[in-house]
Amino acid sequence: MPDTFNCGDSGQHSEGMESMDGAAVVEKCKFASFIERIASEVSVVTPVPRGSGEFSFAEVQDASSLQNPSYRPTLNSPKKYFLPPQEVLFRFTGKSGTSVRGGEEVQYEQDIESPRRVLLAVRPCDLAAIQRMDEVFRAAEPDHHYLQRRQRSIIIGLDCPEPCDEFAFCAAMGTSEVDEGFDLLLVDLDDVWYVRIGTKRGEEFLAECPGVRAAGGDDVREVQRVQKAKERAFERCAQDLPVPREDLPELLRRAEESPVWEEYGERCLGCGRCNLVCPTCFCFDVEDIVALDLGKGERRRRWDACTLLEFAAVAGGENFRRDRADRLRHMFQHKGRYAPERYGELFCTGCGRCARTCLAGIIPTEVYGALREDVKDGVDET
Ligand code: SF4
Ligand code: SF4
């Protein structure tokens, strides 16, 4: 297999990684054998059942999980492979007692754990989320830890024939269909996979799989039939927002002082679960662990959550968002208003993970509905 894991940037927008307009077809059994061979050489991660109908991304040795592609979304999104829940950013050593303040005598060591990896069967909503994360970690100050892992990963998406459950509102958020954000995208055509080729790297990867042929007219007609069925299946999901998604920033602006935040803040436990499972939440905390003699130490980061009490706490005992209502409002405002202002995209893909996991039953579409009721004037209904 050529080293397709190291061919520069991981995204669609970089030189040498331009999106290709192509598709192929491969028998499922041949693709499964190919993945099994690949798994002996690199890490292959895909959703696997965890009991009670739950799934999580984990390393596998074969593609047997693709036999039953109708899984519920994983509890955690695949972002954990690019931004681990916690990691060491660098270690430093120096002369005992003097060195940690910086200067020539300090030695830094950076060891980024980034195995070659194939992410298999990533859903369209998560592909859309990865694109947003890419934007964050490329912008301003490129994050080498994140970007190195992205560069060494191949992403194989899996199209959804229908919404995964009642919590998903991906179609309303425009993420049930994706044209980019994957190296390859699998569409289920019974005995074969119709494979959309998203990048040159994806094409090179697929070329190593035996039995692949270019998609013909019959394949294209079949995938169009599947596509039509998908559109019908997603009709309800596409109606799940009380306003068009383009109007969410304006709705949130007008609802800045809405009493709805107090109402939901009363119910919210401030537990942070919604942030932690969200595929587009990217906040992290950084801490330095330093030896008592100041001669060595390490800088670590770990996921943080804006719904947690300590998130906005600062030195001196102040906390800018002590109330749960303020923290909940901030999370919604960030996803639906601040992030679009900065990155040009809503930072919610409608994956429904937050609603599925919230012990207080707080569901984003219901919150938007309550805000819409409270701020009726000037925001169009869908
Ligand atoms: S909205 Fe739900 S999951 Fe999020 S902090 Fe509040 S109780 Fe926890
Ligand atoms: S806010 Fe909720 S529905 Fe939106 S992307 Fe995050 S977890 Fe998914």
| Residue pLDDT, tens place only, 300-324 | 999 999 999 999 999 998 999 999 9
If you take atom 4 of ligand 1, which residue's CA is the nearest one?
274
313 Cβ below 6 A of ligand 1: no
On the question of pLDDT at 380 being above 60, the answer is no
Q: Model's pTM, two decimal places?
A: 0.91
Q: Residue 15: which pLDDT band, with cuts at 50, 70 and 90? A: very low
- What separation in Å is there between the alpha carbon of 265 and the centre of ligand 2? 18
If you take atom 8 of ligand 1, which residue's CA is the nearest one?
271
If you take atom 2 of ligand 2, which residue's CA is the nearest one?
354
184 Cβ below 6 A of ligand 1: no
**Which residue did the predictor score with more confidence, 142 or 15?**
142
In angstroms, the first-to-last Cα distance of the chain is 49
Q: Residue 173: which pLDDT band, with cuts at 50, 70 and 90? A: very high
Specify the pLDDT at position 66: 76
- What separation in Å is there between the alpha carbon of 222 and the centre of ligand 2? 32
d(CA 283, CA 338): 14
The pick from 281, 307, 368 for probing ligand 1's pocket by mutation, whose C-beta has the most ligand atoms within 8 angstroms, reads 307
47: Cβ–Cβ under 8 A, 6 or more apart, which residues? 55, 56, 57, 58, 65, 71, 74, 121
DSSP H or E run through 200: helix 200-207
Of ligand 2's listed atoms, the one at least distance from the Cα of 335 is: 1
